[in-house]
Copies of this chain bind each other. A is one copy, B any other.
Amino acid sequence: MFESLHRRAGKKGLPPGTVSYFGREQSDPVVLEAIRVEPEGVRRTRLASADECAAYVDAPGLTWINVDGLHDPDAISRLGAIFGLHPLVLEDITHTGQRPKLDELDGSLFVVLKMLRYDEVERVIADEQVSFVVLRSVLLTFQEKAAGDVFGEVRKRLMSGAGRLAKGGPDYLMYALIDAVVDNYFVVLERMGEDIEEVEEALLLTPTPGELTTIHGLRREALFLRRFIWPLREVLARLEKGGSPLINDATVFYLRDLYDHTIQVMDTVETFRDMLSGMLELYLSNVSLKLNETMKVLTMISTIFIPLSFLASLYGMNFRHMPELETRYGYFVLLGVMACSVAGMVLFFRRKGWLSKQQ
């Protein structure tokens, strides 16, 4: 969880605006890819180097340049130079411990956020940073090199050349991509929701220490999600209201819808947090109740038998003069006394309500 903190601390002492990578180690090369939407059709090209992008700077129509991998500072600096990006924007793109944010500067719009994926193998939520730069006719996206992205469907729709995607500008394309990211949040939440319901059902049966650890883990995950989603909500609110010239009026309504979805995500995370707190309390209450019940069993057994044992020990003493021992029915009288004592205790416990199954 603190990996990003570690990376951030590594940056200490560097001048602001330094483009350098402190993220996960990467061996694969950075992949650059451009998708051009032109009247004559949609073309997807893999670019050999950042320099090839220069051709797209003022090209009409829509160009989407996707950079897969942040570990080549030179390529990113080159791209920054070509598209005239501010050094701090480039720094933010390469530092993967970023909090979701929106910056508008020098005729470009910069959005950074987190893509989430539920890793089915390790059963953890994995995050990956994605940055968007909206220019007049170009959308730049930067992602960490990872197993894949959640943009497959959007890419397919764009390549088909039909629909609003191909006709819209880079702002609508960005919307569609963020929408895909947020849609994936719901998938992650669904998985968490399933885990929560599973634990809750187990709680109502017999609580085990395992559930405690699971609840703790889920709470940490909720905390983790919250850190990414709260600021995203703010980013979208500003995008929708900000009146940037780079955001088309027609896109605003879509962004408002997206904003509503983010609130829904946030709402769900908060509900999860409330539920997990409630479950922890229920769990602890159950443990307390169980302890109480255990102690009642112990107390009842002890209270019944300890006095009896004392009496038995008493008449097991070897004093020479113990008149009771000599009597003919002493033993039976004592057994009677013991039976009465047991009966008395049972009555006492019943009056206290300890004998009912439930307290």
Task: State the A residues within 8 Å of B (CB).
Answer: 1-2, 5-6, 8-9, 11-17, 86, 88, 92, 97, 99, 101, 103, 105, 152-153, 157, 163-165, 175-176, 179-180, 183-184, 186-187, 189-190, 193-194, 196-197, 204, 206-210, 212-213, 216, 219-220, 223, 227, 231, 253-254, 256-257, 260, 263-264, 267-268, 271, 274-275, 278, 280-292, 294-299, 301-303, 305-310, 312-322, 324-331, 334, 353, 358-359
Is there an interface contact between A306 and B299, defined as CB atoms closer than 8 Å?
no
> Which residues of the other chain, B, contact A296 by a CB distance below 8 angstroms?
294
Given known contacts A303-B301, A317-B331, A289 and B209 CB-to-CB distance under 8 angstroms: yes
Chain B residue with minimal CB distance to A282? Answer: B216
Q: A118 → chain B, closest Cβ, in Å? A: 11
Residues of B within 8 A of A302 (CB): 298, 301-302, 306
Output the least CB separation between A234 and chain B (Å).
10
Q: Within the assembled complex, what's the spacing in Å between the Cα atoms of A317 and B156?
A: 89
Q: Which among B208, B263, B309, B321 is the interface contact of A313 at CB below 8 angstroms?
A: B309
Query: Closest Cβ of chain B: how far from A186's Cβ, in Å?
Result: 4
Please, which residues of chain B bring their CB within 8 A of the CB of A318?
A: 315-318, 322, 325
A299 and B288 in contact, given A310-B308, A312-B310 (Cβ under 8 angstroms): no
B288 touches A284 (CB 8 A): yes
Q: How far is the CA of A227 from the CA of B263 in the complex (A)?
A: 11
Q: Tell me which of B179, B223, B292, B316 contacts A317 (CB under 8 A).
A: B316
Q: Is the interface of A mostly helix, strand, loop or mixed?
A: helix
Contact A292 B287 (CB under 8 A): yes
On whether the beta carbons of B190 and A2 are closer than 8 Å, the reply is yes
Whether B99 and A194, one on each chain, are in contact in the complex, defined by CB atoms closer than 8 angstroms, is: no
Are A285's CB and B278's CB within 8 A? no
Name the one of B17, B189, B316, B321 contacting A329, with C-beta atoms under 8 angstroms: B321
Contact yes or no, B331 A220, CB < 8 A:
no
Contact of A208 among B275, B298, B359 (CB under 8 A): B359
CB contact between A99 and one of B184, B264, B334 (< 8 Å): that residue: B264
Contacts beyond the supplied A231-B263, A294-B299, A315-B318: 7 A-B pairs with Cβ under 8 Å: A5-B189, A9-B187, A16-B176, A88-B253, A287-B289, A302-B306, A306-B306
Set of chain B residues within 8 Å of A105, measured between Cβ atoms: 253
Q: Are B9 and A186 in contact (CB under 8 A)?
A: yes
| Distance from A189 Cβ to chain B, minimum over Cβ atoms (Å) | 6
How many Å from the CB of A171 to the closest CB on chain B?
Answer: 14
Taken together as a complex, chains A and B put the C-alpha atoms of A244 and B192 apart, in Å, by 40
Minimal beta-carbon separation of A298 from chain B (angstroms): 4
In the complex the two chains form, what is the Cα distance from A189 to B6 in whole Å?
A: 9
- With A and B bound together, what is the CA distance between A97 and B187 in angstroms? 14
Which B residues are in CB contact (< 8 Å) with A212? Answer: 282, 285-286, 289
Complex Cα spacing A231 to B227, Å: 21
Q: Is the CB of A11 within 8 A of B183?
A: yes
- Beta-carbon contact of B267 and A16 below 8 Å: no
State how many angstroms separate the Cβ of A87 from the closest Cβ of chain B. Answer: 9
Chain B residues in 8 Å Cβ range of A193: 1-2, 5-6
* 6 closest Cβ pairs, A-B complex: A312-B313, A2-B193, A208-B358, A315-B317, A319-B331, A9-B190
